[in-house]
């Protein structure tokens, strides 16, 4: 039976309440033998992702991720990757149900409460929410980098499609959690991928878009560095082209388009000069178009991120003179964050 989606008009929309928050229902989806109220829709034909409400999940119901994949060898392989990934960390999506229909696969997974990083960045650009401080941006990305390197080491998985749409900024603990592994491949199979398979070019490393260069964990390193660049500047690297810059310019010309994030950060003057330079060096190295010029190993990359996080805490960075209530609140929150003892939620030191 084919999956069927029916949108609701604004007049017929209702809402559900989950974890003390109301979610509007935008339509309904028929899949896995039942109708699901739909909260959000993402993706494209053959690789759709829906956030749905499951009224049977616990006393009051809960949100679920519902994926519809083409029934193909690649989808089966990615399903196996997701099973590997779910066993890595309890924070990552867990498979609740998998059904093989005639022409597609329906996958139902747990959902991580929060908003996508893409939604947060859009609100920050429109000034609906405060943009992240450099301190907060580094903290978020450091935690993400540790999680990505866990996939590389313990599950031999390359994500291949790390971007704001595929990351949830969790409520409460404010961490970045990966939610979509539709483009993830095992390390041994990554070299056989088609160029540009499944990802968004601006966040993808150049070697994933061509058949040149080695494809390994350094490809995810590029994507995470692009996300850090965007958190710091609210812009994409390489003049907005990101990794796709190699499709429009020679390597030499493309490299000149990469502006250090410090030049675009509105709070650069609030940072000690040495710390701003350290941020620039880490981000620019992770964004090198040639993977041989990035951090050679996950340990090297994480060591630099950990050292940067330590420097931020030791230097106790704070605005010189907050000019608004928002600035004061953000400064106080940063002080409490620096005083909080390090724990597992902050990301333990990882080793290769």
CATH, residue 53: 3.30.200.20
Which of these three, 78, 110, 142, is where a domain ends?
A: 110
* Nearest alpha carbon to residue 128 among 294, 310, 317, 326: 326
pLDDT in tens, the chain (352 residues): 568 899 998 888 899 999 888 999 999 999 988 999 999 987 665 678 899 999 999 888 999 999 888 887 777 777 777 777 766 666 677 888 989 888 888 989 888 888 899 999 999 999 999 999 888 999 999 999 999 998 888 777 888 889 999 899 988 768 999 887 655 655 555 545 544 445 688 999 998 887 666 778 899 999 999 999 999 999 999 999 999 998 888 878 888 899 999 999 887 777 888 889 999 999 999 999 999 999 999 999 999 999 999 988 887 544 444 433 344 344 444 544 444 444 443 444 444 4
* pLDDT attached to residue 211: 66
CATH number, domain containing residue 288: 1.10.510.10
Residue 162 has what pLDDT?
A: 92
Specify whether 184 is located in the same domain as 235. yes
Rounded Cα distance between 17 and 63, Å, is 10
Domain boundary among 110, 131, 164: 110
Co-location of 66 and 199 in the same domain: no
* 104/123 same-domain check: no
Same-domain status, 90 and 235: no
**Res 349: pLDDT:** 40
Do residue 83 and residue 142 come from a single domain?
no
Residue at 232 is within a domain: yes
| 216 and 172 part of one domain | yes
Same-domain status, 82 and 231:
no
| 142 and 263 both lie in a single domain | yes
* Any domain includes 55: yes
Shared domain for 178 and 247, answered yes or no, is: yes
Residue 247 lies in a domain: yes
Among 86, 110, 134, give the residue marking a domain's end: 110
Domain co-membership, 209 together with 99: no
Residue 9 lies in a domain: no
Residue 211 within a domain:
yes
Q: Domain span at residue 100? A: 16-110
In this structure, the answer to whether residues 278 and 146 fall within a common structural domain is yes
Residue (of 65, 72, 74, 73) closest to 96 by Cα position: 65
For residue 350, what pLDDT is reported?
A: 41
- CA distance linking residue 111 with residue 132, whole number of Å: 24
| Whether 81 and 209 share a structural domain | no
Say if 11 falls within a structural domain.
Answer: no
| pLDDT for residue 345 | 39
Helices 217-233 and 134-154: crossing angle in degrees, nearest 10, is: 170
Number of domains in the chain: 2
Residue 352 lies in a domain: no
Whether 5 maps to a domain, the answer reads no
């Amino acid at each position: 039976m084919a999956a069927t989606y029916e949108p609701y008009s604004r007049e017929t929309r209702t809402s559900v309440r989950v974890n003390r928050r109301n979610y509007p229902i935008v339509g309904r989806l028929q899949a896995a033998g039942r109708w699901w109220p739909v909260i959000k829709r993402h993706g494209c034909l053959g690789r759709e992702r829906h956030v749905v409400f499951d009224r049977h999940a616990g006393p009051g119901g809960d949100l679920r991720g519902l994926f519809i994949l083409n029934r193909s060898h690649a989808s089966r392989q990615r399903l196996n990757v997701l099973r590997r990934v779910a066993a890595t960390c309890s924070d990552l999506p867990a498979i609740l149900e998998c059904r093989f229909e005639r022409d597609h696969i329906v996958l139902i997974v747990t959902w991580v409460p929060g908003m996508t990083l893409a939604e947060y960045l859009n609100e920050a650009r429109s000034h609906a929410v405060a943009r992240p401080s450099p301190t907060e941006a580094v903290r978020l990305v450091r935690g993400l980098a540790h999680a990505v390197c866990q996939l590389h080491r313990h599950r031999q998985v390359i994500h291949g499609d790390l971007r704001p749409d595929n990351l949830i900024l969790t409520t409460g603990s404010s961490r970045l959690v990966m939610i979509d592994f539709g483009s993830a491949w095992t390390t041994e199979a990554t070299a056989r991928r088609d160029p540009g398979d499944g990802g968004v070019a601006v966040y993808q490393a150049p070697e994933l878009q061509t058949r040149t260069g080695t494809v390994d964990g350094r490809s995810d390193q590029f994507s995470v560095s692009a996300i850090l660049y965007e958190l710091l500047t609210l812009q994409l690297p390489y003049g907005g082209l990101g990794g796709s810059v190699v499709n429009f310019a020679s390597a030499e010309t493309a490299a000149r388009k990469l502006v250090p994030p410090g030049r675009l950060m509105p709070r650069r003057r609030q940072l000690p000069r040495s710390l701003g330079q350290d941020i620039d060096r880490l981000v620019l190295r992770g964004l090198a178009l040639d993977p041989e010029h990035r951090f050679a190993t996950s340990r090297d990359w994480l060591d630099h991120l950990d050292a940067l996080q330590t420097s931020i805490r030791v230097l106790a960075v704070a605005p010189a003179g907050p000019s608004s209530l928002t600035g004061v609140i953000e400064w106080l929150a940063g002080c409490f964050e620096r005083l909080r003892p390090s724990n597992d939620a902050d990301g333990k030191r990882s080793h290769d």
